[in-house]
């Protein structure tokens, strides 16, 4: 019989090839399952039991969060659930391979509190979008990034995957999102205008849509030949775009933490506040489950607000 470590490797390969999950997802599953195997000190799938899983959950619940803001802060229930989701997927795989182990349905996820939204006000959003005012390549790029994020509601990973041959003659853009699923998003005239300005100013031959500009390229990179006309200029990473958004939020005088995902939240609430139906917003955002989209409704329900104003006895 194969060992648990061997089965884990087979499961990760299955997840990547047959299930078509992203390398990011595969790496996360590898991390979560490795922690479980290290804790349980077990190499036999038959020895995964209710007791061993419960002990692992207790251990997780007492672990310090790596980025804890205060001493004594432990892993959130949401983070703990990531480990359990990976373990359940692994156990389902074992069952399909007819390997005797704990049934996946024996593992219940921890209850988590209702998700809260990180939002900025419309005035703050306008200040953020107006922050890049210059005509240099960096400001043209940053303006295009911010406008495109708010126009489309893209995830930052989806934004990073865009190429410079983007078709700006169309109002639609096909995006391959989570799980390899393709959906259509729409580009506003404003976003198209700023994208054209940025692409016109570019003098390189790189394929990626958003790139580092010369003053962001380190001397070490330049010594390796990363010059402005070189095809190998580095595209912006997820972290790079998060830094750009943060810098412009600070420049705009916004004290809250602002990320690309906050702009995605603003996009969704803007659609719903202006009358878009939940199913359509779900499709545009690329949510697999409408429950994920429903987190926006409590901040956008104008009908309830109107009912309150109309019928509440103001005294």
For residue 46, the 8-state DSSP code is G
Going by C-alpha positions, the residue among 212, 266, 278 that lies closest to residue 239 is 212
How far is the C-alpha of 40 from the C-alpha of 30, rounded, in Å?
A: 15
Last residue of a domain, one of 82, 106, 130: 106
pTM of this prediction? 0.68
Shared-domain flag, residues 173 and 265? yes
pLDDT attached to residue 305: 67
Shared-domain flag, residues 165 and 267? yes
How far is the C-alpha of 21 from the C-alpha of 77, rounded, in Å?
A: 24
CB hemisphere CA count around 123 (13 angstroms): 2
For residue 41, the 8-state DSSP code is T
Shared-domain flag, residues 149 and 177? yes
When divided into structural domains, the chain yields a total of 2
DSSP H/E element including 176: strand 172-176
Q: Tell me the two tokens of residue 229.
A: 């006309």
Give me the CATH number covering residue 11.
1.10.150.130
Last residue of a domain, one of 77, 106, 135: 106
Give me the CATH number covering residue 192.
1.10.443.10
Q: Which of the residues are catalytic?
A: 155, 178, 261, 264, 287, 296
* Whether the Cβ atoms of residue 271 and residue 256 lie closer than 8 Å to each other: no
pLDDT attached to residue 232: 53
How far is the C-alpha of 254 from the C-alpha of 149, rounded, in Å?
A: 18
Give the pLDDT confidence of 15-40 residue by residue, as tens digits: 999 988 888 889 999 999 999 999 99
Residue stretches of the chain with pLDDT short of 70:
66-72, 113-117, 216-232, 298-305, 307, 313-315
Last residue of a domain, one of 41, 75, 106: 106
* 59 assigned to some structural domain: yes
CB atoms within 10 A of CB 149: 26
How far is the C-alpha of 81 from the C-alpha of 61, rounded, in Å?
A: 10
Shared-domain flag, residues 209 and 88? no
Which residues span the domain enclosing 76?
A: 4-106
Shared-domain flag, residues 243 and 191? yes
How far is the C-alpha of 217 from the C-alpha of 195, rounded, in Å?
A: 22
């Amino acid at each position: 019989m194969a060992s648990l470590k061997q089965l884990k490797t087979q499961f990760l390969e299955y997840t990547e090839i047959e299930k078509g999950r992203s390398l990011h997802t595969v790496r996360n599953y590898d991390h979560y399952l490795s922690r479980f195997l290290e804790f349980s000190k077990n190499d036999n799938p038959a020895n995964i039991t209710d007791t061993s899983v419960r002990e692992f959950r207790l251990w997780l619940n007492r672990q310090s969060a790596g980025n804890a803001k205060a001493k004594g802060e432990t892993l959130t229930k949401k983070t703990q659930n990531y480990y359990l989701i990976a373990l359940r997927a692994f156990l389902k795989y074992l069952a399909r391979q007819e390997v005797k182990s704990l049934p996946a349905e024996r593992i219940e996820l921890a209850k988590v509190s209702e998700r809260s939204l990180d939002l900025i006000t419309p005035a703050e959003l306008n200040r953020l979008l107006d922050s890049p005012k210059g005509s240099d390549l960096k400001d043209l790029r940053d303006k295009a990034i911010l406008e495109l994020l708010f126009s489309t509601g893209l995830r930052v990973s989806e934004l990073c995957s865009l190429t410079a041959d983007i078709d700006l003659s169309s109002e639609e853009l096909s995006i391959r999102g989570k799980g390899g699923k393709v959906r259509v998003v729409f580009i506003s005239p404003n976003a198209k205008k700023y994208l054209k300005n940025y692409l016109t100013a570019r003098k390189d031959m790189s394929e990626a849509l958003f790139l580092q500009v010369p003053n962001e390229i380190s001397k070490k990179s330049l010594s390796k030949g990363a010059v402005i006309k070189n095809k190998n200029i580095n595209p912006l990473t997820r972290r790079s775009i998060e830094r750009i958004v943060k810098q412009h939020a600070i420049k705009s005088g916004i004290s809250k933490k602002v990320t690309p995902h906050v702009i995605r939240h603003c996009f969704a609430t803007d659609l719903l506040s202006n009358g878009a139906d939940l199913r359509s917003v779900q499709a545009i955002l690329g949510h697999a489950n409408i429950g994920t989209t429903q987190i926006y409704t409590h901040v956008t329900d104008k009908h309830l607000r109107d009912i309150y104003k109309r019928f509440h006895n103001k005294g």
